[in-house]
């Protein structure tokens, strides 16, 4: 039983019977124990519309109200509040019923919804930090609750697996070509000995080179273009980096006991094939602008710290 809904329904019916058509009971948990378990506050608003005394109207509502199966007493307080005191025996009986129900009295929704919960979102080529752990736990808790309530839950782990950082790593990793080749030759499958710590070290070194060496930065940008264009050799190296990163995340998820699985991962790379058509549509709409060799959409509502779009 949804107690609050039941009280609302019965009090609303009593208010209508007392002469206030379509007046809500406005039932809420009582603010203080001396006011009972629940209070109905709708009599005052209804009495104001009817231009009658609210306390007298509340007393009339109680005369029309039958809560004898649920309550120890019902009384009028103050200017027209209705205080509701539940029976201990009724509460105890409901608790026994709930304890014997595998769903603990939680009813499934009349109309289930499809709910997408996007959570965790680890950075690739880096270790997960406390912010990722926090969003992972919060997201998993919400997903479990929604699933238990009876909704269709789509778990999503949206990861940044595309962009300049991968160009930097791919441009840097030829120094470790032998290890990469051994990795692919061994996919029989022995555990690959590079760890996420190694990837993070490579990323720091590659970022330093990118910031200090213009020739290296240009090679990194070329790698990004090749990656996005489907170059098989570049994509093979990219898959190594992504695989190690997601393997690290999977280990963390298993230790935490969360329900995220491999098929819940959705990377930015998934949208790559759709981008040409998106760019065409934006160009037709006159929304694209050129900036530093790239095409972008710049909105007046979003500016940088120098108030530039």
pLDDT tens-digit readout, 112-161: 999 999 999 998 888 888 999 999 999 999 999 999 999 999 999 999 99
pLDDT surpasses 90 at 6: yes
pLDDT surpasses 80 at 1: no
Number of Cβ within a 10 Å radius of residue 271:
11
Percent of the chain clearing pLDDT 90 (strictly above): 70
Go through the domains of the chain in sequence order and give each one's CATH number. Answer: 3-91 (3.30.1360.70), 114-158 (no CATH), 161-269 (no CATH)
φ, ψ (nearest 5 deg) of residue 155: -85, 130
Q: How far apart are CA 223 and CA 209, in angstroms?
A: 15
Which carries the bigger pLDDT value, residue 188 or residue 198?
198
pTM for the model: 0.69
Structure tokens at 150: 């009876």
The confidence band for 240, taking pLDDT boundaries of 50, 70 and 90, is confident
Task: State the distance between the two ends of the chain, measured CA to CA, in whole angstroms.
Answer: 55
Q: How far apart are CA 217 and CA 68, in angstroms?
A: 79
CB-CB contact of 154 with 115 (8 Å)? yes
Beta strand pairing status for 27-29 and 294-296? unpaired
Q: How far apart are CA 81 and CA 58, in angstroms?
A: 7
The confidence band for 180, taking pLDDT boundaries of 50, 70 and 90, is low
Task: Over range 222-248, report the average pLDDT.
Answer: 92
Task: Over range 184-212, report the average pLDDT.
Answer: 76
The confidence band for 190, taking pLDDT boundaries of 50, 70 and 90, is very low
pLDDT tens profile 129-143 = 899 999 999 999 999
For all residues of the chain together, what is the average pLDDT?
90
Element containing residue 226 per DSSP (H, E): helix 214-229
Looking at residue 191, its pLDDT comes to 45
Looking at residue 178, its pLDDT comes to 63
Looking at residue 84, its pLDDT comes to 98
């Amino acid at each position: 039983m949804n107690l609050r809904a039941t009280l609302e329904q019965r009090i609303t019916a009593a208010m209508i019977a007392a002469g206030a058509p379509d007046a809500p009971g406005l039932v809420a948990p009582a603010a203080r124990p001396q006011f009972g378990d629940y209070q109905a506050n709708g009599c005052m608003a209804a009495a104001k519309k009817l231009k009658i005394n609210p306390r007298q109207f509340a007393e009339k509502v109680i005369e029309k109200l039958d809560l004898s199966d649920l309550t120890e007493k019902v009384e009028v307080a103050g200017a027209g509040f209705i205080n509701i005191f539940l029976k201990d025996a009724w509460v105890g009986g409901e608790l026994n019923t709930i304890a014997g129900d595998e769903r603990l009295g939680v009813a499934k929704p009349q109309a289930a919804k499809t709910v997408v919960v996007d959570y965790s979102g680890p950075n690739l080529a880096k270790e997960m930090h406390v912010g990722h752990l926090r969003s992972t736990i919060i997201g998993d808790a919400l997903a479990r609750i929604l699933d238990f309530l009876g909704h269709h839950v789509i778990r999503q782990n949206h990861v940044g697996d595309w962009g300049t950082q991968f160009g930097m790593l791919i441009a840097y990793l030829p120094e470790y070509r032998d290890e990469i080749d051994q990795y692919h030759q061994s996919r029989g499958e022995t555990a690959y000995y590079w760890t996420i710590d190694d990837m993070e070290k490579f990323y720091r070194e590659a970022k330093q080179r990118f910031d200090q060496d213009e020739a290296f930065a240009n090679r990194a940008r070329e790698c990004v273009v090749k990656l996005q264009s489907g170059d098989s050799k570049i994509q093979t190296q990219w898959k190594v980096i992504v695989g190690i990163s997601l393997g690290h995340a999977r280990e963390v998820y298993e230790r935490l006991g969360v329900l995220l699985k491999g098929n819940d991962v959705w990377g930015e790379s998934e949208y790559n094939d759709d981008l040409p058509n998106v760019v065409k549509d934006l160009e037709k709409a006159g929304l694209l602008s050129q900036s530093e060799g790239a095409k972008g959409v710049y909105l007046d509502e979003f500016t940088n710290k120098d108030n530039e779009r």
